[in-house]
A and B are shown apart, each in its own frame.
Chain A
Amino acid sequence: MAEEVKTPAPPPPPQPQPANTGPSGGPEDEKKPTAEKPAAAASAEPAKPAEPAKPAAPTKPAAPAKPTTPAKPAGPVPLPWTSPMVEKYKSQYGSGLDALTYLGQNYLAVDRSLIPDILRLLRDEQQFDYCVDVTAVHYPKREKQFDVVWILYSFPRNERVRVKTQIADGASIPSSVSIWPTANWLEREVYDMFGIQFDGHPDLKRILLPDGWKGHPLRKDYGILQQDKEWVQINLGIESGQ
């Protein structure tokens, strides 16, 4: 859902949120980082010249970048990331791909439909030969609840890039095991913790939790004290694990 990525919604009201409800969106939120504090408080900061060349968040013209004291949540904003590689893929895939950089780290927000292709191109054409990590983030309030994140590294280029895509709860995503064999266990862990299905994974089953366990603990709606009582009672023969 590239459109969703590109047009940030109006800022939500300031709210102290408990960690297990979380913000309503991932990349959208990053583009309006001053949303939780009035801009006046932030503008007291010495504004560093990192003003975005093409403001990523047009709703926030007064967004200052790089506060020296991080006490205020006003922070650097993700800037558009340009490089020959990005230009090439943008012309190839158009709006399905967004390239951003935040605190010096580059990432591509890509549409779910591009996922096997763009990862394969990154490995084959751009030499991102090492898949550092595959993980996910859950945003329960968003329509497409999950961000799936690949962290890639290229030995020849000594460069990192992250690839992010959004998928809905219950939707599946093509496995990247055929691209990087290391994704095998990493995807199993994502499945175990979030319940995300990876199509074409050779052996998609739980890895850290026992096979019969119900629930996926890193979802935000799974409480920290929650457990599969039935599993505990049957398999451990105790009333509760706590």
Chain B
Amino acid sequence: MSERANDQTNDASNRALSSTDRSYLDLETSDKTYLDSNELVINMGPQHPATHGVLRVILKLDGERVLGTECVIGYLHRGVEKIAENRTYTMFNPYVDRMDYCAAVSNGLGYCEAVEKLLNVEAPARAKYIRVILTELQRIASHQLWLGTHALDIGAMTPLFYTFRDREEILKIFEKYCGARLTTHAFRIGGCQYETYAGFEKDVKNFLAFFAPKIDEYEALLTTNRIWLERTRNVGVISAADAIALGVTGPVLRASGVQWDLRKAQPYAAYSEFDFEIPVGTNGDTYDRYLVRMEEMRQSMRIVEQAVNAIPEGPIMGKVPKVIKPPVGEIYHSIEAPKGELGYFIVSDGSTQPYRLRVRPPSFVNLQALDIMVRGLLVADVVAVIGTIDIVLGEVDR
């Protein structure tokens, strides 16, 4: 194990991304293999439980060591951007939930805020607080789902049951709020459609009290677990410079030591009103990404707690016309989704339908870093790294 760790560090120093052209996988090139054995090209996925959906990775192997990878994606491509051009702004709103279906609320927040910016309206303060509460609960739920499946991939089965048990409580709040658990369509352009239900604040506070010790429970299972440490430390290292060059965002970027979070850098919704920290890692390995996400759950709880104690009274819908017809122009708006920077670039031609709607998906861009993260590792580590990037193929393929 330690021998492998050494190899990894050597590889990491050799792998610094130059700014010159870089071919991700040249299957023709023959690298020097161990004992001059034949290189092996194998297929992982798309029907593979550890690729989190329909990701297909072509692995070029020397024995069990990865020489290069190529991702084949698009199996879940539904043409979301084309659909947007053929729907009105309002009709397209539920579609965004189907991209990152593990964090539908965040997708909806990004889309609604982007259209609001284009319309030059703002959601009322109460709506913003409701949005922050639900979005942060969604971040916790998304990280729980990530933790459960990621740990399962690596071989720890128990966290899956713990996280799904606790995620249920968040989904119950969503269900009581808007009737849906996963694809929630929680927000509307201009604010929220639904007022909070009676007992919403109590439910949220109960959840916070319930969940605080649960994070410690997860950590007790994993943080100092010998097997977990061996499987995650120094695995899938990416330096800050490489991460920036590859456009990686979210917890993956922060684990490499870049303290950058859109909620702080360019605050949206009501985030400027809350105190929270941006956890960062130092090594940029799988273990640091785990620690960053664990801490992010705690910080999300802090935000929810502050928000739920200070929800202002007032309307929940801004002054938005029935027929949404933004003026001619274009806008880019992005939010810090659980997986990274989720951006919407909307071009309006003054009609009721977007002329062009581009989604900048965090999973898609982060997945590009898989190649550089797994070179030199073993096949089993590829599974760990796919898990640690936290991709959702619905968002990668759109």
Contact = CB atoms under 8 A, between A and B. Distances in A.
A138 to B, nearest CB: 8
Contact of A208 (B24, B74, B327): B74
B165 interface: no
B201 interface: no
Nearest to B76: A208
Nearest to A213: B74
B351 interface: yes
A78 B327 CA distance: 12
Contacts of B86: 19-20, 224
Contact of A17 (B77, B119, B245, B351): B351
Contact of B21 (A66, A162, A200): A200
Contact of B77 (A138, A200, A209, A224): A209
A181 B246 contact: yes
Contact-size category for B: 35 or more
Interface stretch (A90-98, A126-134, A229-237): A126-134
Contacts of A103: 117-118, 120, 329, 331
A181 B22 contact: yes
A30 interface: yes
Contact of B85 (A19, A129, A149, A185): A19
A76 B326 CA distance: 11
B247 A182 contact: yes
A80 to B, nearest CB: 15
B43 to A, nearest CB: 16
Interface in B42-88: 73-74, 77, 79, 81-83, 85-86
Nearest to A16: B351
A111 B355 CA distance: 23
Interface in B240-289: 244-248, 258, 260, 265-266
A207 interface: yes
Given A185-B364, A202-B22, A224-B86, A133 B343 contact: yes
B321 A70 contact: yes
Contact of B328 (A23, A70, A179): A23
A218 B118 contact: no
Contacts of A200: 21
Nearest to A138: B356
Given A66-B120, A132-B247, A217 B82 contact: yes
Contact of B321 (A26, A71, A202, A203): A71
A224 B82 CA distance: 7
B332 interface: yes
B338 interface: no
A207 B118 contact: no
A137 B356 contact: yes
Given A70-B321, A202-B24, A224-B82, A76 B329 contact: yes
A75 B327 contact: yes
Contacts of B19: 178-179, 181
A178 to B, nearest CB: 5
Interface string A36-80: 100000000000000000000000000000111111111110100
B223 interface: no
A180 interface: yes
Nearest to B72: A207
A19 B89 CA distance: 12
Contact-size category for A: 35 or more
Contacts of A155: 244, 258, 260
B121 interface: yes
Contact of A133 (B265, B355, B360, B368): B360
Contacts of B321: 69-71
A214 to B, nearest CB: 15
B232 to A, nearest CB: 25
B149 interface: no
A23 B82 contact: no
B350 A73 contact: yes
A22 B343 contact: no
B247 A130 contact: yes
A174 B80 CA distance: 27
Contact of A102 (B266, B330, B353): B330
B231 interface: no
A20 B77 contact: no
A50 to B, nearest CB: 10
Given A23-B355, A133-B360, A70 B17 contact: no
Contact of A70 (B77, B79, B120): B120
A131 B82 CA distance: 23
Contacts of A138: 356
24 contacts: A19-B86, A19-B349, A19-B354, A22-B355, A66-B120, A67-B327, A75-B328, A102-B329, A102-B330, A129-B244, A132-B341, A132-B360, A133-B345, A151-B360, A155-B244, A158-B265, A177-B22, A181-B246, A182-B246, A185-B364, A193-B81, A207-B73, A207-B74, A208-B74
Counting from the closest, the 7 A-B pairs by CB-CB distance are A75-B327, A182-B247, A208-B74, A70-B119, A19-B353, A71-B321, A73-B350
Given A70-B326, A178-B21, A184-B368, 8 more contacts: A35-B350, A67-B327, A71-B323, A103-B117, A135-B345, A151-B360, A182-B247, A210-B74
